[in-house]
Amino acid sequence: MAQILIVDDDPHIIQQLTVLAHSFGCTPLSTLYPDYLFEILESEPIDLILLDVHMPGTDGVELLNRLKSHPIHQKIPVIMLTGDTNIKLLAKCFQGGATDFINKPIKEVVLQSRVLSALKMQEYVKKLEELTLQLQDELKLAEKVQRATIHSQIELPFLETAKLYVPYGQVSGDIYDLSLTRNQSLNVFLGDATGHGVSAALITMMVKMGLNSINSELSTNKVIHQLNQLLSTCIPLNMFVASIFMRITADGKMRCSNGGIPPVIIVPKHKEPVTIFGTGIILGVKKSVRYSESIYQLEPGDKVFVYTDGITECLQDEEPFGMPRLIEFLGANASLDMDTMLNDLLKHLTHFTGEQEFEDDITMLGFQYHAE
Tell which CATH architecture fits domain 149-369: 4-Layer Sandwich (3.60)
Q: Is the pLDDT of residue 246 over 90?
A: yes
Nearest to 307 by CA among 292, 327, 288, 328: 327
Indicate whether this model's pTM tops 0.75: no
pLDDT band at residue 258, thresholds of 50, 70 and 90? very high
Domain ranges (residues) in the chain = 3-131, 149-369
Residue 151 has a pLDDT of 60
Whose CA is closest to 306, among 324, 330, 289, 285?
Answer: 330
Share of the chain above pLDDT 90, in %: 60
Task: State how far the alpha carbon of 349 is from the alpha carbons of 4, 148, 223, 291, in Å.
Answer: 54, 27, 32, 32
Alpha helices in 77-107 (DSSP H): 87-95
Same fold for the pair 3-131 and 149-369: no
Tell me 216's DSSP state. Answer: T
CATH superfamily assigned to domain 3-131: Response regulator (3.40.50.2300)
User: Which ranges of 44-168 would DSSP assign to H, the alpha helix?
Assistant: 60-68, 87-95, 108-148
Task: Give the type of residue at 169.
Answer: G
Contacts of residue 341, Cβ cutoff 8 Å, sequence gap at least 6? 162, 303, 330, 333, 366
Least confident of 193-197, 273-277, 308-312: 193-197
Helix, strand, or coil (residue 349): helix
Banded pLDDT at 219 (limits 50, 70, 90): very high
Whether the pLDDT of residue 195 is over 80: the answer is no
pLDDT band at residue 90 using 50, 70 and 90 as cut-offs: confident
- Measured CA to CA, the distance from residue 230 to residue 214 in angstroms comes to 10
Distance CA 173, CA 207 (A): 11
For 68-84, how does the pLDDT look when each residue is reduced to its tens digit (9 = 90+)? 999 999 999 999 998 87
Does the structure show a pLDDT above 80 at 304?
yes
Mean local confidence (pLDDT), 298-322: 94
Tens digits of residue pLDDT in 115-162: 999 999 888 888 878 876 776 776 677 677 667 776 667 889 999 999
Alpha-carbon 147 to chain mean position = 15
Q: How far is CA 37 from CA 79, 173, 241, in A?
A: 14, 50, 58
Q: Is the pLDDT of residue 88 over 90?
A: no
